Amino acid sequence: MTSLSFELQLEIIHVQAYDGLVLKQLKIEKELTTMSYVYANRGYSDALTGFGSKPALVVVDFQRGFTDSQFPMGGAPMVDQAVVSTVRVMRAAKSAGIPIIACVIAFDGRKSAPLWKIGPVLDLQAGTEETQLDPRIAAEGPDVVLSKTAPSLFFGTPAAAILTRERVDTVIVTGCITSGCIRATVVDAFSLGFRVQVAKDCCGDHDIVAHEQNLADVGRRYADIIDADRAIDAIDQWRSTNDRD
């Protein structure tokens, strides 16, 4: 450090003080680029699956236990911003009349919970404040709100049956946590035969490294990685095609 100019020293200190996020982002970009070459050489692809004939929006675990800073797992800035972006997509979906399914993790007693390694998850008991939808999400009026005990929206719930009944073939995924329940939901949606579109700015994690790495990984295997604007454009296009007012 002593060989650097005073201005450069201050700049490095400032970047490091920014919770390590900038340095992490630079490292992630380098690692993902290298990783992408490795996978591409073995046939993995970033070719787009695209949207099908009818989309639906799923909102995973935007509940107070993950969004409210008074709770141990709540208050991550990335998750909060993802809620804001998701509200925009929900409004477009509601206006277009496409299905919106939200879910929360909620247990009917600890014996109903899987063997989670995350202690505070076991506090997500049905009827507690932690299992309430974030007020911003609740205010948009999801068509269906499901409770689940496992990571995926689809495991042990009627989500797939609801989407099939609505003739949905494309699932837009939003919510948290990217490296956990979002990834699990993406894998199950893919396995069930849906086209999967992950709105990256509508998903959040506690750690940007986990967020970016998991998005990159599902993006070369199971899903298209889009953003809120692209999701809204696709919803508006569907609405136009189907003469929705």
Better pLDDT: 202 or 38: 202
Beta strands (DSSP E) in 9-129 are 55-60, 100-105
Residue 33: pLDDT over 60: no
pLDDT tens for 160-198 read 999 999 999 999 999 999 999 999 999 999 999 999 999
Residue 7: pLDDT over 80: no
Tokens of 213: 């790495």
Tell which residue, 78, 96, 82, has the closest CA to residue 173: 82
Residue 156: pLDDT over 70: yes
Q: Would you please indicate which residues are annotated as catalytic (active-site) residues?
A: 181
Residue 30: pLDDT over 70: no
What mean pLDDT comes out for the span 31-39?
A: 63
